[in-house]
A and B are shown apart, each in its own frame.
Chain A
Amino acid sequence: GEDVEQSLFLSVREGDSSVINCTYTDSSSTYLYWYKQEPGAGLQLLTYIFSNMDMKQDQRLTVLLNKKDKHLSLRIADTQTGDSAIYFCAESSNTGGFKTIFGAGTRLFVKA
């Protein structure tokens, strides 16, 4: 079945850029998402990209999509301590009725 994989941890210093990577297996993925989850909270949609796009920029966030390699990344510029959270990559496609498949999440630690 479809699968989404992410590295589990990332640690950066405040002010540096963070890059969180994700790979997926479903070649028919249509939408790819990045969600943020703070401790004890639900998921907040950060940004999403259509599969026919290579890049999307939104303020400090840059999403890059390499469809050939099925690789998605999220770059956070000028990372702040408030960015410390779990970041989930997710994809949906018309395989199985646009069910959204989530990765296990990357825990971002930002050191002051």
Chain B
Amino acid sequence: EPEVTQTPSHQVTQMGQEVILRCVPISNHLYFYWYRQILGQKVEFLVSFYNNEISEKSEIFDDQFSVERPDGSNFTLKIRSTKLEDSAMYFCASTPLAGNTGELFFGEGSRLTVL
């Protein structure tokens, strides 16, 4: 069964460092998402991506964050200068349909710990 894969599963970094989280969505999906879950809190939408550009972003997704699809398979989330409050689990998801009307396929998540 096709699946969304994320790497790394866990990354520990120092405050102020750049972090890149990687995702390989399901190959025939067209819509990609990043979500964040701070420990003990609810999942939050960060950004959606379609046709090689951001289609929507939340207020959390400020200038410190960026996404790209560099090679047609990987979908990356970059945090430019990490802060303590960026510590969270980051989930990538993909779907073949837009507008939240298609089933979402999630990766296993990347746990980011900022020290």
Q: Do A and B bind each other?
A: no
Question: Which residues on A are within 8 Å of B, measured CB to CB?
Answer: none
* B binding-site residues for A, Cβ under 8 Å: none
